[in-house]
């Protein structure tokens, strides 16, 4: 996953509503990277042009019959005004998203291949 900030202002992201996800290095997943994170204007998290941060859904144990979910809440970093929220769900190894502000937040998901690619772009309003 990668978040790109194309706004002229910095943004702040929060990870909320997490269910059945690996985190903090478990299975190589680090969803917490995006929690309480400031992303400077015209930059990305993780930074650079390379790949995004690996995030892994739990599909076993107590989560075997449950979908994996998490949300990314996005705010203006200077005044804490909420820009929007994206709710992600992984069901049957296919990620989908519900976006509260499609005018400003663009969500790209590619489920083909061994690993899905998720990219969130926050555009100028």
Two tokens at 28? Answer: 């190589």
Give residue 59's pLDDT band: very low, low, confident or very high (50, 70, 90).
confident
Beta bridge partners of 84: 74
Three-state secondary-structure class, residue 97: strand
Chain mean pLDDT for the chain: 95
- Name all domains of the chain by residue range, CATH numbers in brackets: 2-122 (2.60.270)
pLDDT of amino acid 17: 98
Tell me the whole-structure pTM to 2 decimals: 0.94
Q: Distances in Å between the alpha carbon of 58 and those of 22, 32, 34, 72?
A: 6, 15, 18, 18
Burial label, 67 (beta-carbon count in 10 A; 0-12, 13-18, 19+) = middle
Per-residue pLDDT tens digits for 62-110:
899 999 999 999 999 999 999 999 999 998 889 999 999 999 999 999 9
Cα dihedral sign, 99-12-26-2? positive
Contact between 31 and 55 under an 8 Å Cβ cutoff? The reply is: yes
State the Cα–Cα distance between residues 110 and 52, nearest whole angstrom. 13
């Amino acid at each position: 996953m990668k978040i790109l900030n194309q706004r002229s202002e910095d943004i702040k992201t929060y990870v909320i509503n997490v269910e059945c996800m690996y985190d903090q290095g478990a299975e190589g997943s680090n969803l917490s990277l995006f929690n309480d994170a400031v992303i400077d204007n015209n930059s990305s998290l993780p930074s650079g042009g390379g790949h995004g941060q690996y995030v892994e859904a739990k599909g076993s144990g107590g989560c075997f019959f449950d979908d994996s979910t998490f949300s990314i809440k996005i705010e203006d970093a200077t005044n804490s005004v909420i820009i929007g929220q994206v709710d992600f769900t992984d069901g049957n190894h296919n990620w989908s998203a519900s976006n509260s502000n499609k005018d400003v937040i663009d969500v790209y998901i590619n489920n083909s291949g061994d690993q899905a690619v998720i990219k969130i772009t926050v555009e100028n309003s």
